[in-house]
Structure 1
Amino acid sequence: MLELKNIVFEVPVDEHSSKTKRIIDDLSLTIEDGKFTVITGPNGGGKSTLAKLIMGIEQPTSGTILFNGEDVTHASITERANLGIGYGFQQPARFKGMKVKKLLELAAGKRLPALQCNEYLSKVGLCSAAYLTREVDKSLSGGEVKRIEIATMLARDPKLAIYDEPEAGIDLWSFDRLTETFRDIHEARDDRSIVIISHQERIIQLADDIVCLRDGRIEDAGPRDEIMPKLGLADRAQFGCTLTTPTELHLTKIPTTC
C-alpha cells in the first residue's frame, strides 16, 4: 500500500529568487494493494511531479511517503526500486550500445530466453525478431523507445508500477494493444498496483479508482463508477481528458508482423 500524507513540493520561482511556487499543495492519497489508479487533470496540475515524488526522482518539501508501512520519504530511487516500485518515464532515456534483449534482462534481473522476451515485446506491439538485437539509441523512434520501456516494466514486474502518460508517442494500433496489456496485468495479478498518469478516456475507463488533480490538489477522487459520471464532455475538457479516436492519434503505425 502506498500512502502520501500532507505532501508539499515547492520550487523557486526563478533561479535567483528566494520566492517559491507550490506545485503539490498539502496532498494526501492512499493507493491500496491491487488497485488500478488513474491520475488525470489539466496540464500543469502536478500529475507528473506527483509521480516523480512517489519514485524519488523529486523530494518533497514536507510530508510523508509510506510504502507497505515503510517510510520512503527520503529513500533513493534505487532503494524504492528494490522495494518494488517501478517507473515509466513520459520521455524514456536512450542507451547507445545497449541492445533491447540486454535491457529486458537488466530489468528482470536475470537472463531471459528469447521466447519470454518476445512475449514482453508482443504485448506492447513490437516484433521480437525485428527488435531484440537492436540498440536502444537514436535509430529508434520516440514511440518505439516508449514501448520498449513499457516492456522492461513488464519484465521487472514491480509491486507498484507507475506509468507517466504511456500513450504518448504510441500509434493507434499499439495503443489498443497497450490498453489490453494493462487490463490483462491488472486481472492476472491482484497483488500488484498500477498508477497511470493519463488524459485518455479509454485508459481512465480501466481504472478501479480515479484521482483528478488540479493546481497540486486533489479536486476529486474515488471509484471509477463514482467519478466517471462527473466527467461529462464539458468536464473532460476541464480536466484535460481526451477521447481516443483514430483522428486524435496522428502517429505513424509501425507494423508488428514478424
Structure 2
Amino acid sequence: MLQLKHISLTAPEDGKKVILHDIDLTVGDNKFVVVTGPNGGGKSTLAKVIAGIMTPESGQVLLDGTDITGHNITQRANEGITFAFQQPVRFKGITVRDLIITAAGRQLDEPEICGYLHQVGLCPRDYIDREVNQSLSGGEIKRIEIVMAMARKTKLTIFDEPEAGIDLWSFTNLIDVFKQLRQQVSGSILIISHQERILEIADEIVVLADGHITAHGPREEILPALLDTEGGSCAYCPRTGREA
C-alpha cells in the first residue's frame, strides 16, 4: 500500500547532517506497524515525510502505486493519509462533536459519535458538546484524536509518539484504545514509539537508528532481539528508549 523508495533527507539547518539515508520501506494493507529506535534516529522525520509535512531531497513516496512525493499534507489527507501530532491541536470554540464530524467528512448521527467516544473510554454525555480547549488533559485529547481516526477511516493513520505527555493511567488506557483502533479501522496504522507495550501489539516493527533502517520484520522476530540487551547483543532497548 505505502512504499518508500530510496528516501534521503538532510537537516535544513545543517546540510551535512543526514537525518534519513536511502530509506526503503513498505507498509502493507491492514497492518499495525511500529517504528522505534534511539532518540534522534529520524523517526519523527520519517513520519513527517510520509504525511507530506516534509519533502525528501531524493527518493519516492508511493501510495497504492501512485507517486505522491510532491503532495503536501492536505493533498495526502484527501488521498487517505492521516497524521496525528505528538501534541494534538486544540480548537477553542469547537466542540468534540463538530471536530469528529469534520474529521469524518460526512454527517454522523449522535448515536454513532457516542459509540466512538464510548469505545475510547470517554463518557459521551460529558464530552460530546465539550469544547476542545485547554480544559482537556493530554490523555483526553489524544483519545479524541483516535476517535477522529476511527471516524475518518483512512488508508493509513500515523501517530507520532502518542504516549508523549500523558500520565501512566492514561497510557494504560491508550494501549486498550489502540487495540480497539486495530479492530475498527480497515486501513493500516503506523505508530512512532519506543514504548514496549505498544511494540507488543504491533504486527511489524521497524527499527530506525542514525537515519538507517537497521531491522524490519514481524513483531515475534524483532521484539525479542530488542529486549535482549545483555552483553551488548542489541544496540537499542525499548524499555529505556536509549542505545544499549
Q: Same fold by TM-score, threshold 0.5 exceeded?
A: yes
* 2:150 matches 1:154: yes
CA drift at 1:177: 3.4
The answer for the alignment partner of 2:64 in structure 1 is 68
In structure 2, how many angstroms separate the alpha carbons of the residues matched to 1:208 and 1:143? 24
- The runs of 5 or more residues in structure 2 that have no matched partner are none
In structure 2, how many angstroms separate the alpha carbons of the residues matched to 1:188 and 1:152? 12
| CA deviation vs aligned residue, 1:205-240 (integer Å, no higher than 9, x gap) | 111111000011101111111111211252799535
Give the total of aligned pairs: 238
The answer for the alignment partner of 1:84 in structure 2 is 80
In structure 2, how many angstroms separate the alpha carbons of the residues matched to 1:124 and 1:236? 38
In structure 2, how many angstroms separate the alpha carbons of the residues matched to 1:101 and 1:188? 19
SS in 2 for 1:231: helix
CA drift at 1:98: 0.9
Identity of aligned residues (%): 53
Tell whether the 8 Å contact from 2:227 to 2:237 is kept in structure 1 after alignment. Answer: no
CA drift at 1:27: 0.7
Worse-superposed segment, 176-185 or 39-48: 176-185
In structure 2, how many angstroms separate the alpha carbons of the residues matched to 1:171 and 1:23? 30
The answer for the alignment partner of 1:12 in structure 2 is 12
CA drift at 1:93: 0.9
In structure 2, how many angstroms separate the alpha carbons of the residues matched to 1:153 and 1:51? 16
* 2:218 matches 1:223: yes
The answer for the alignment partner of 1:22 in structure 2 is 18
In structure 2, how many angstroms separate the alpha carbons of the residues matched to 1:134 and 1:237? 46
Tell whether the 8 Å contact from 1:55 to 1:87 is kept in structure 2 after alignment. Answer: yes
SS in 2 for 1:5: strand
Aligned residue runs from structure 1 range 140-179, under 5 A: 140-179=136-175
| CA deviation vs aligned residue, 1:177-223 (integer Å, no higher than 9, x gap) | 3323322333455x411111111111101111110000111011111
The answer for the alignment partner of 1:253 in structure 2 is none
- The runs of 5 or more residues in structure 1 that have no matched partner are 244-258
Q: TM-score, normalised by structure 1?
A: 0.85
Tell whether the 8 Å contact from 1:24 to 1:217 is kept in structure 2 after alignment. Answer: yes
**RMSD over aligned Cα, in angstroms?**
2.1
In structure 2, how many angstroms separate the alpha carbons of the residues matched to 1:184 and 1:215? 33
The answer for the alignment partner of 1:108 in structure 2 is 104
In structure 1, how many angstroms separate the alpha carbons of the residues matched to 2:233 and 2:130? 40
Tell whether the 8 Å contact from 1:124 to 1:174 is kept in structure 2 after alignment. Answer: no
Tell whether the 8 Å contact from 2:60 to 2:69 is kept in structure 1 after alignment. Answer: yes
The answer for the alignment partner of 2:49 in structure 1 is 53
Which amino acid is 2:10 matched to?
A: E
Which amino acid is 1:12 matched to?
A: P
The answer for the alignment partner of 1:198 in structure 2 is 193
* 2:99 matches 1:96: no
Sort the Cα spacing of 1:74 and 1:236 in 2 relative to 1 into closer, same or farther, 3 A. Answer: farther
Q: TM-score, normalised by structure 2?
A: 0.89
